[in-house]
Amino acid sequence: MTQGAHRLSRRAVLATPAMLSLAGTACAREPEQPGIPSGKTLVAYLTRSGNTRVIAGIVQRVWGADLFEIRPPRPYPDDYEQHVAQATRERDSGFEPSLAAKVDNIAAFGTVFLGFPIWGETAPPPIRSFLKAHDLRGKTLRPFITHGGYGVGGSLAVLATHATGATIEDAFVMEADQERRTLNQVRDWLGQINS
Ligand SMILES: Cc1cc2nc3c(=O)[nH]c(=O)nc-3n(C[C@H](O)[C@H](O)[C@H](O)COP(=O)(O)O)c2cc1C
């Protein structure tokens, strides 16, 4: 089967929502294709409010991939503004947190879908840590990025400098809900309630 035919089979699966839940199994059983990186597919992602997790779940099911959540050992603050302040400090100082866990046997994967939200106009610090902690040489990296309306900022340059030796494909980029907007609207609502 050619790469085109391989893609077509994914498209056929994606065309029918009812097939989505079956897709992971069907795709996982496909034999290796010429021109397609050998090895398993990994979907690694970071999320705070869940937008990126939704995309990761879809990719994982359609592609029959393994799923890995990137987490620092200590979670970021629940409070949005404290989280923004910490992420800004870490970005400005170039801090790279350690990771709660690493991918077992990264060598087994030929393709890595890497998903993350934009924080402070760039890739979050744990994404830099993830890229440093795993040898992606010879692998295909397929980024998927969510942002709150201001675009990908410097994140693609971070991938270029940190994903040493990987072939980086064009990123899938999507504007998604901003927690700040939700926060402000809920605060306004609560402020209008007479206690
Ligand atoms: C710490 C922090 C910083 C953010 N900085 C930006 C930014 O610079 N530009 C932007 O468009 N959105 C920014 N956002 C919004 C997120 O990128 C966006 O809402 C994203 O979809 C959240 O993904 P998640 O639900 O997977 O966490 C920021 C969010 C957080 C938590």
Contact indicator for 141, 112 with CB cutoff of 8 Å: yes
130-179: pLDDT as tens digits: 999 999 999 999 999 999 999 999 999 999 999 999 999 999 999 999 99
Q: Please provide residue 110's backbone torsions phi and psi, each rounded to the nearest 5 degrees.
A: -95, -30
Among residues 148, 139, 149, 146, which one has the least CA distance to residue 169? 139
Q: Determine the pLDDT at residue 5.
A: 40
Contact indicator for 141, 169 with CB cutoff of 8 Å: yes
Ligand 1 midpoint to CA 151 (Å): 10
Query: Burial letters for 146-178: b for 16+ Cβ neighbours within 10 Å, e otherwise?
Result: bbbeeebbebbebbeebbeebebeebeeeebeb
Residue 110: per-residue pLDDT: 97
Q: Are residues 13 and 62 in the same domain?
A: no
The model carries a pTM of 0.87
What is the pLDDT, as a whole number, of residue 105?
95
Q: Judge if the beta carbon of residue 117 lies within 6 A of ligand 1.
A: yes
Residue 82: CB atoms within 10 Å: 11
For residues 90 and 15, membership in a common domain is answered with no
pLDDT at 14: 62
- Is 120 close to ligand 1, i.e. is its CB under 6 Å away? yes
Domain check: are 19 and 87 in the same one? no
How many distinct structural domains can be found in the chain?
2
Q: What are phi and psi of 80, to 5 degrees?
A: -60, -45
Q: Using an 8 Å Cβ cutoff, are 98 and 129 in contact? A: yes
CATH code (residue 181): 3.40.50.360
Q: From the CA of 149, give the closest atom in ligand 1.
A: 11
Same domain for 46 and 25 = no
Residue of 46, 48, 90, 114 with the most ligand 1 atoms within 8 Å of its CB, for mutation: 48
Predicted pLDDT at 30: 47
Per the CB < 8 A criterion, the answer to whether 150 and 178 are in contact is: no
CB 10 within 8 A of CB 27: yes
Beta bridge partners of 144: 115, 172
Give the model's pLDDT for residue 38.
75
**Are 20 and 47 within one domain?**
no
Q: Is the dihedral of CA 175, 177, 179, 185 positive or negative?
A: positive
Domain limits for position 17? 1-36
Positions of the chain with pLDDT lower than 50, given as ranges: 1-8, 18-32, 35
Q: Do residues 30 and 95 share a domain?
A: no
DSSP string, 38-107: -SEEEEEE--SSSHHHHHHHHHHHHHT-EEEE---SSPPPSSHHHHHHHHHHHHHHT-----S---TTGG
Distance 149 CA to ligand 1 centre (A): 9
Please give the pLDDT value at position 23: 41
Q: Give the per-residue pLDDT at 146.
A: 98
Radius of gyration of the chain (CA): 18
